Amino acid sequence: MKKFLTLFAAVLMLLSVLSGCKMGSNQSSNSKSVASPQELKPFGKYKKTVTYTIGKATPGIPKLPKGQTYEDNAYTKYLKDTLNIQSKDKFEAQTGDPYDQKVSMAVASGDLPDIMAVNADTLRQLVANDSIADLTDVYKSSASDFIKAKYNSYNGRALKAATFDGKLMALPSTQNANIPTMLWIRQDWLDKLGLKAPKTVDDMEKVLTAFVKKDPGNNGKGNTVGLALSKSVGGNYGSLFVADNIFATYNSFPRQWIKQNGKVVYGSTTNETKQGLSKLADWYKKGLIDPQMAVRDSIESLIISGQAGAFFGPWWSGDYPLNSAIKKNPKANWKPYIISKNGDGKITAYTQNPVSEFYVVRKGFKHPELLPKIASAINDKLVREDKNYKPVVDFVRGGYDGGKPLNVMINFNDATAQMYKDLKATVDGKKDPKSLSLDDSTSYNNIENYLKNPKNPDPNAWSGYTSRIVAGKLMANTPIKEVNPVFFDQTKSMKLKWANLVKLEDETFLKIVTGQKSVNDFGTFVKQWKSTGGTQITQEVVQAIKEK
Amino acid sequence: MIKSKTFGSYLSDIIIWTVLLLLTALCFLPLMNMVSVSFSDSTAAQANQVGLLPVNVNFNSYRLLLEDAQFWRSFMISVERVVLGTALNLLLTVLMAYPLSKNTKQFGARNIYMNVMIFAMLFSGGMIPLFIVVKSLGLMDTIWSLILPGAVPIFNVILLMNFFKSIPDSLEEAAIMDGASKLKILFKIYLPISLPALATIGLFSIVGHWNDYFSGLLYMNSSANFPLQTYIQQLNVDVTKITDPSQLKAIASVSNKTLNAAKIVVSIIPVLLIYPFLQKYFTSGLVIGSVKE
């Protein structure tokens, strides 16, 4: 019997090795580039046009100028002009599930495009199958210094996520800091009731109570919502309608793997989170939170229609959803404030995963250096040296989207704060508007429009000013004690069990906040969470952190 | 015969009418709301203020849908798919259902075919093997990738087979006596009296082909080749997942809600148009008057 088992295991291993070989059947052709030293330079132009195939992630709404296509537009033209390269779409699909679907089909059929974006899970699979190229050398030779500096602003966290056994296997898109999220509040309601802007959680409670009781928006009794809150109460970094600011005052960081007293824990299961939840449950009971939060399908509608008096959101809330709110009611004066523990304006907040997606090169592709070169051209040369390149300027000004063959985005970690500083300096006349980047100069136009007519601004001007100057200032000036989550990946057991655990967590949190469960049931939740896979996953996470 | 109207019959009429009207309203009102939203001002729709009548009527969402050539291209691909696909579906279904409706004496291998088909209906190879087959056959990015994988709808075959079984044998015997061939029996006798069944499975095919977005997503690599539903599905943006401000700009310019409504309205029009034409077959009798027993 034992013999049989060993034989069986051996056959299985042989099979897996064989299938592994088949996946990377191109490996005989070494992934060394055939480019000349001149062509290996970040902005070196090729003598002969290099054509490369890509997996193209398209924006939801097709927004290309007339006559331009995904393979032939301002950006591909720019790359053709500067590097003499041309993209060809192996497949096109909308960013998100449709694109992931296409990628898994390409991986399953072993027919990969030369360059494509994948998620962390697929990246690991591709590395294990040995079907993507090692980019360590070409990153050194063909990424520009500016790009390297951008990656380095994450203290090595960004590239580390794409490094396996000391080899760089992908170039990640970065996600720069977007904290703190702020409390957006109806300033006109505050003024009407003669209230001061809230600074602490208790202040906030007073303000919300006044909003709900006194109905400053004339919505009719009982129709005013104090705080608009999402069903997934907290733990989504930098997004709209979550109460992370409240949780953070209790040192609670739901949905994050954090280190607490030297031990790795899942933030949703800590005692601190229980305290945060009980605060929200208390508010819900007092009617300060949207009573229909559990079934509300569009929270934006509350804000746009003028029913809600406050919500938590990131700096860009001025663009969305408040742009529509101002269009609907120009007198709705929304303003952002920082809620802190003692009202001193200092806050604690968790940081996010520094990388979003990974760009990989197919093993066997003759020009692996193309990826760092394209990344450099788009994120360095085009935004600095060539920022007046006319076709791209027209493209951006026209509000078009989806031109870049690869959406690889590399930003400095403090890009948003920097944006505020640049715009502020320009408004103060200390910086030449012409020196602004393309995006910033569009924003600057809006800000200028606002400043010309602050009494009765155009909604877009209001949005530009409120997001980038008012909220931007808060972002740049608020001292933050950062908590760095220790793990963002997936572990083995997560594949099977995580979805259920998240569901358990979502349901319990929502029930506790809406009073269907008492806060004391939190302990039961933690126990159940642990016994249905949480303990095992925590161990795996600890192990994975050790190995990294 | 003259029916005398009693109080009881009036009452039951009233109750029946009320129930039917309520049911109609239940089906019709959401549709009406959808149409209204699609014609409304985007901020009003976002603020949930559109009921049964549009607020500040405008055509922005339709303009966005219709303005670009890709919409019409996808529309035509869908039409082509429905026409080709349904024709092929019907032809193969008929050709398959007829022999299978015979017993094993007349058609020896009948049960083997039947079992293979039922097995294939219950256990599919799964998405990835199917994808690889379609890819290896070189069908990717062609209209055939949308038509051939589902060319024989087994469920419909069984449906039609059972219908054929219900046709009296004496009809076929009479035809044989007159010297008709099998093909002639199928096309000249069975098909004309099977119109209700054919209309049913035809409608299944049309609606199935028209509404399917997934195979377009799977087998079309170039977004220029997407059929209408796939194209429309791609327009659907989940706002809550967006954390990148530059993408929000594009979305803020048109309300997701009015756009979604416009999509739904446009996509149901063709089916709405076809339905009344096929409906008359559903109510007409089956084999009335073909033989006298």
Mean pLDDT, to the nearest integer, of A145-154? 93
Q: What count of other Cβ atoms lies within 10 Å of the Cβ of residue A146?
A: 17
Contact B193, B212 (CB under 8 A): no
Contacts of B243 in chain A (CB under 8 A): 175, 178, 237-239, 314
A60 vs B236: CB contact, 8 Å cut-off?
A: yes
Residue A228's contacts (CB-CB under 8 Å, 6 or more residues apart) are A241, A290, A293, A299, A302, A303, A308, A310, A311
B16: in domain: yes
Do A200 and A336 fall into the same domain? yes
What is the C-alpha separation between B150 and B85, in angstroms, rounded? Answer: 9
Q: List the end-to-end C-alpha distance of chain A, in Å, as a whole number.
A: 39
Specify the number of domains making up chain A. Answer: 3
Nearest to B250 among A59, A98, A324 (CB): A59
The percent of chain B in helix, strand and coil, each rounded to the nearest 5, is 75, 0, 25
pTM reported for the whole predicted model? 0.78
Give the residue numbers spanning the domain of A457. 415-479
**Residue A434: is its pLDDT beyond 80?**
yes
Q: How confident is the model at residue A183 (pLDDT cuts 50, 70, 90)?
A: very high
Mention every residue, 6+ apart, whose C-beta is less than 8 A from residue B140.
Answer: B134, B219, B220, B221
Say which DSSP state B190 is in: I
DSSP letter for A27, please: G
- Clarify whether residues A528 and A461 are in a common domain: no
Contact between A91 and B221 using a beta-carbon 8 Å cutoff: yes
Tokens of B45: 């729709």
A239 with A317, same domain: the answer is yes
Q: In this complex, which of B132, B245, B253 lies closest to A399 when CB atoms are compared?
A: B253
Residue A536 near residue A493 (C-beta atoms within 8 A): yes
**Residue B242, domain CATH:** 1.10.3720.10
Q: Who contacts A457 (Cβ-Cβ below 8 Å, separation ≥6)?
A: A449, A450, A465
Whether A43 is in a domain gets the answer: yes
Give the residue ranges of chain B where pLDDT is below 50: 254-255, 285-289, 292-293
Residues 6+ apart with CB under 8 A from A23: A110, A129, A130, A131
- The amino acid present at A379, given as its one-letter code, is N
Q: Which of A265-279, A428-442, B4-18 has the highest mean pLDDT?
A: A265-279
Alpha-carbon distance of B152 to B292, in angstroms, equals 35
Decide: helix, strand or coil at residue A307.
Answer: coil
Minimal Cα–Cα distance from B150 to chain A, Å? 19
Write out the residue range of the structural domain in which residue B146 sits: 68-283
Nearest chain B CA: its distance from A62 CA (Å): 8
DSSP alpha helices (H): ranges in A84-214? 97-108, 120-128, 136-142, 145-152, 157-160, 187-193, 201-214
CB contact under 8 A, B64 and A61: yes
Share of chain A above pLDDT 90, in %: 53
ipTM, interface predicted TM-score of the complex:
0.72
In a shared domain, residues B38 and B124:
no
- Chain A: residue whose CA lies nearest to B42: A324
Q: Decide if B243 and A109 are in contact by the 8 Å CB cutoff.
A: no
pLDDT band at A23 (very low <50, low <70, confident <90, very high): very low
- Residue A200 forms part of a structural domain: yes
Q: Does B240 lie at the interface with A, CB-CB under 8 angstroms?
A: yes
Specify whether the backbone of A130 is left (phi greater than 0), alpha (psi in -120 to 50) or beta: left
**CB–CB of B245 and A316 under 8 A?**
yes
Tell whether B292 is covered by a domain. Answer: no
Strands of the sheet containing A85-94, edge to edge, are A85-94, A50-58, A115-118, A355-361, A171-174
Q: Are A34 and A40 in contact (CB under 8 A)?
A: no
The residue out of B58, B84, B101 marking a domain boundary is: B58
Predicted pLDDT at A179: 80
User: Sheet containing A308-313: which strands, arranged edge to edge?
Assistant: A225-228, A308-313, A182-186, A334-337
Q: Are residues A142 and A188 in the same domain?
A: no
In the prediction, which pLDDT does A137 show? Answer: 93
Q: Does residue A111 contact residue A23 with C-beta atoms inside 8 Å? A: no
Q: For residue A122, count CB atoms less than 10 angstroms from its CB and return exposed for 0-12, middle for 13-18, buried for 19 or more.
A: buried
Asked if residue B249 and residue B176 are part of one domain, the reply reads yes
Same domain, B54 and B97: no
**CATH code, A533:** 3.40.190.10
Q: What is the pLDDT of residue A19?
A: 47
Residue-level pLDDT at A17: 45
Mean per-residue pLDDT of chain A: 88
Is B46 close to A316, i.e. CB distance below 8 A? no
- Look at residue B185 and give its three-state secondary structure: helix
Q: How far apart are the first and last CA of chain B?
A: 30
**Selected residue of B46, B141, B256 to mutate for chain A interface (largest A Cβ count, 10 A):** B46
Do B35 and B145 lie in one domain? The reply is no
- Residue A249's pLDDT is 93
User: Are B83 and B177 in the same domain?
Assistant: yes
Domain shared by A345 and A494, yes or no: yes
In a domain, B289, yes or no: no
Q: Which chain B residues touch A399 with a CB distance below 8 Å?
A: 249-250, 253
Judge contact between A130 and A164, C-beta under 8 A.
no
**Same domain flag for B104 and B231:** yes
Task: Show the CA angle centred on residue A163, arms to residues A29 and A76, nearest 5°.
Answer: 65
- Stretch A220-235: mean pLDDT, rounded? 88
Q: Which of B49, B68, B217 sits opposite A98 (nearest CB)?
A: B217
Looking at the structure, tell me whether residues B46 and B80 fall in a common domain: no
- Band the pLDDT of A509: cuts 50, 70, 90: very high
Whether pLDDT at A25 is above 60: no
Of A69, A98, A301, the CB nearest to B46: A301
Q: Does B260 touch chain A (CB under 8 A)?
A: no
**CB distance A130 to A167 below 8 Å:** no
Answer whether A304 sits within 8 Å of B128, measured CB to CB. Answer: no
Contact B218 A239 (CB under 8 A): no
For residues B121 and B231, membership in a common domain is answered with: yes
Over residues A157-168, mean pLDDT: 91
Percent of chain A with pLDDT over 70: 93
Q: Is A116 helix (H, G, I), strand (E, B) or coil?
A: strand
CB contact under 8 A, A108 and B249: no
A470 shares a domain with A363: no
**B-chain residues near A353 (CB < 8 A):** none
Instruction: Give the pLDDT of residue A369.
Output: 93
Residues B217 and B270 in one domain: yes
Radius of gyration, alpha carbons of chain B: 25
A23 belongs to a structural domain: no
Co-location of B40 and B93 in the same domain: no
Q: Which residue has the higher pLDDT, A10 or B144?
A: B144
- Whether A512 and A450 share a structural domain: no
Find chain A residues with C-beta within 8 A of B44's C-beta: 328
SS3 A386: coil
Whether B122 and B16 share a structural domain: no
